[in-house]
Amino acid sequence: MEIIKELWGKAPDGKDIFRYTLKNTSGAYVQLGSVGAAIVSIVVPDKDGNLGDVVFGYPNPLDYFGDGPCAGKVPGRFANRIAKGRFSLDGQEYTLPINNGPNHLHGGPEGFQNHVWDSRIEGNAVEFMYYAEDGEAGYPGNLKAVAHYEWSEENELKLILTAETDAPTIVNLTNHVYFNLDGEGSGSVLDHKLELNASQYLPTDETQIPLGKPEDVAGTPMDFVEAKPIGQDIQADFTALKIGKGYDHCFLIDGAMPGQLTPAAELWAAKSGRKVEILTTQPAVQVYTGNWLKGCPNGKTGHAFEDYEAVAIECQHTPDAPNQPDFPTTVLRPGEVYEEAIIWVFTA
């Protein structure tokens, strides 16, 4: 495994931005950036052996700051939405910045994804670390978050997310990578086939906050238990799909157990023959079909994106968990270690 570190640019505050390339002996490689501990590129072979970049992203590192799609980055302190930017913990109420309708999304406008993380090569891995101070974006406790990436000879990308705190807090970390398995900038992903290990999803209100009770996907457009094209039912007359102009929903992973890797999803593109299988220790997966990509920065090929040209499959805890007592807890206390894993396995 070859790992190359290079200076990629400078942040507005003058901090150095680094890019890392992890290349295996077959020539397949991953690029990571220190803005938001981002997955910048994943270059893997298609069915004919031709290498191509399957990740949505930008050539200019400065475009990763404040981008609407949160391309390839690790949002925090809490990924996804918290209703009205409020939650209570141990009898204390906390208020967070509102940045998504009436709600708090991905840690707010100054979330982890919009900061340069410290970074280093650690053996055959690359590690990024972000230290969030007590009160940052309204969250309690000083929190140290680490994103540890490994790339294998078998074209498997492994991410281990850990966090520790010095006071009770909440934490929900994921990676917001988007895929187009036919290649970045190659058009719509609505013909990609998606399969989810999820027989239930979380219906939401019109602001995309879960209503609290899961519903079965069977007999609805939310059913991906058997693989089907992403676009097959995306225009269906179904309230959930109208709210977000497509899929932007949390699915509960069948058989998920804390600390155990469980298959979450498979995504396959017939044109290129590429497939990615996703496994995780997380209890849920948010599927977002790139419903609002138009107008974001141009891609690495200079391509101006349209909606639905990439899909994010984000392994995480459930949205608004701090306000929903029936959801798995996202509370982290001093002395505990938050640890979750996501593995992407690429084949063709």
What is the C-alpha separation between 75 and 312, in angstroms, rounded?
13
Among 148, 314, 317, 340, the one annotated catalytic: 314
Point out the catalytic residue in the list 104, 106, 115, 176.
Answer: 176
Sign of the four-CA dihedral 150, 154, 157, 160: negative
Q: How far apart are CA 263 and CA 260, in angstroms?
A: 10
195 is catalytic: no
Concatenate the DSSP letters of all residues of 167-212 into one string. S-EE-B-----EE-TT-TTS---TTSEEEES-SEE--B-TTS-B-S
As to burial, measured by CB atoms within 10 angstroms (0-12 exposed, 13-18 middle, 19+ buried), residue 64 is buried
2 is catalytic: no
Task: Using alpha carbons, select from 184, 146, 191 the residue that is nearest to residue 165.
Answer: 146
Tally of CA atoms within 13 A in the half-sphere of 35 that contains its CB? 28
Find the farthest-apart pair of alpha carbons in the chain and give their distance in angstroms, rounded: 59
What single DSSP character describes residue 137? Answer: G
What strands lie across the sheet with 29-33, from one edge to the other? 2-10, 16-23, 29-33, 38-45, 51-53
* Amino acid found at 64: Y
Nearest-angstrom CA–CA distance, 330 and 327: 9
User: For 304-310, which contacts have Cβ atoms below 8 Å and span 24 or more sequence positions?
Assistant: 305/56, 305/185, 306/188, 307/245, 307/246, 308/188, 308/189, 308/190, 308/231, 308/234, 308/246, 309/56, 309/180, 309/185, 309/187, 309/188, 309/189, 310/56, 310/178, 310/179, 310/180, 310/184, 310/189
Residues with a known catalytic role: 176, 314
